[in-house]
Amino acid sequence: MNILHGVPLGMSHAPEHESALPAEADAVIIGGGIIGICTAYYLAKQGLKPLVLEKGRVAAEQSARNWGWIRKTGRDYAELPIVIEAQERWEELAAVCRDDFGLRRAGVTFLPKDEAQLEKYEAWARDFGEASGTVMLGHAQVAAMLPDAVNPWGGAMHTASDMVAEPFEAVPAIARAAVAAGAVIREGCAVRGLERAGGAVSGVVTEAGAVKTKLVLVAAGAWSSLFLRREGVSIPQLSVRSNVLATAPMPLFFDGAAGEDAMSFRRRKDGGYTMASLGVNHLWVGPDAVRNLPHYRQLIWGGDFGMSYRLPAAKDWPDGLRTKRRWALDEETPFERMRVLDPRPSDAALDRMLDKFAARFPKVGRPKVARRWAGMIDTMPDVVPVVDHASIEGLSICTGMCGHGFGIGPAFGRIMADMMTGHTPGHDLSRFRLARFDSYARLELGPDV
């Protein structure tokens, strides 16, 4: 894979998976990110022949643009048992994959911006610390953990068993393992829509032809809502930009992952750090944002949405003003017009983050930047995903991961493989039902930590 400073270049590198389009598949998965790839792997382990269709390149969007954290820390109560399973799955996958993608239990630390946030961390740790292995650290313990920092933190929330990995290496490695297990992956092949018989899924139509199947999973990240809307399924999903950078290799000052307001950092296996402007997200307002506004009222009125708003969404983005919402199955789709959603990062936000880091760690100084990028995070009004069967028989949905998808992906992949084939998912998924958005009733919001 052609990689520059640990970030896939998308359509500029040659496809790795160019399998011929089969006439029929046991299941079709729309989206070659962490959820789709892991679902394919676990379906193949059941002896099925799943087909992953990716409009661009495997993991070219948020699944490789994230920070590489695999955390239990601060999770929603309904996600916590699933991410605990996910960490076990990650270790299984690391043993199966031929490629070393840097998986390790490095620990994750949440550093508070003020006393009020520290109290929220303490409350979460009281409720879920025993299940997650999370503990609260005092001021002196934080100072010992980060000896090079000018330390204003009165404490921190820390989970030593949390993990990290290199996302730009991990997802492609799992994709190769899925193919070895019997899955078929086709890059550069957009799905235009569903075919139905008697109200149930009977196949998909792609830009390269039709494939018969009775099982379809939409795991298309930021594109899921646009695809589903054409099929008559509405989800109030929006996409927000997160800004990230990779430093050049630098002296070790901290070996795990940590973050505070407007700043986060994680040691990579190449000796550099992945850094992000934590909590600094940007939403481009388009037709879907306006339409879904009532669903987001709690986040907005409560001051918890944490968005900076922009107008208008760029041409051909999922919520672009002129992006087509309807198309015939023999027409070019938005998924073909934009193979990889590659937003320009906010240099201003990243520069502020670097300034804050240099002030917080004067002995380390301002890191040398190797590359900057951004990703579009698919988010939901209550900050938890949609994991459910749709009203169309044979159609399943796993999307809206709200920035948690990379870490939890292997478990949701296993869950979706079992759900699609009629097996028990092994977890209580009632919190993730699509029906919670059937009205504008008050939602149960995820944890504000």
Q: What is the predicted pLDDT for the residue at 1?
A: 36
Please, which residues have CB within 8 angstroms of residue 37's CB and are 6 or more apart in sequence?
52, 58, 59, 63, 171, 174, 175, 178, 185, 409, 413
Please, which residues have CB within 8 angstroms of residue 74's CB and are 6 or more apart in sequence?
110, 121, 124, 157, 447, 449
Per DSSP, the three-state class of 448 is coil
Q: What is the predicted pLDDT for the residue at 2?
A: 36
Tokens for 319? 């919520």
The length of the chain, given as a count of residues:
449
For residue 23, give the DSSP letter.
S
CA dist 437 to 168, 234, 295, 297, 441, Å?
A: 33, 9, 8, 13, 8
Q: What is the predicted pLDDT for the residue at 6?
A: 52
Q: What is the predicted pLDDT for the residue at 279?
A: 76
Rounded to an integer, the average pLDDT of 358-366 is 97
pLDDT at 202 over 50: yes
Angle between helices 80-96 and 34-45 (to 10 degrees): 70
Rounded to an integer, the average pLDDT of 170-187 is 98
| Model pLDDT for residues 278-304, shown as the tens digit of each residue | 777 889 989 999 999 999 999 888 766
Percent of the chain scoring above 90 in pLDDT: 89
What pTM did the predictor assign?
0.96
Class for the domain spanning 15-437: alpha beta
Integer Cα distance of 107 and 283 in angstroms? 30
Tokens for 275? 């850094």
What is the largest distance, in Å, between two alpha-carbon atoms of the chain?
67
| Model pLDDT for residues 125-144, shown as the tens digit of each residue | 999 999 999 999 999 999 99
Q: Give the strand pairing for 108-110 and 395-399.
A: unpaired
Tokens for 139? 């001021």
Q: What is the predicted pLDDT for the residue at 68?
A: 97
Q: What is the predicted pLDDT for the residue at 225?
A: 97
| Model pLDDT for residues 373-388, shown as the tens digit of each residue | 999 999 999 999 999 9
- Domain residue spans of the chain: 15-437
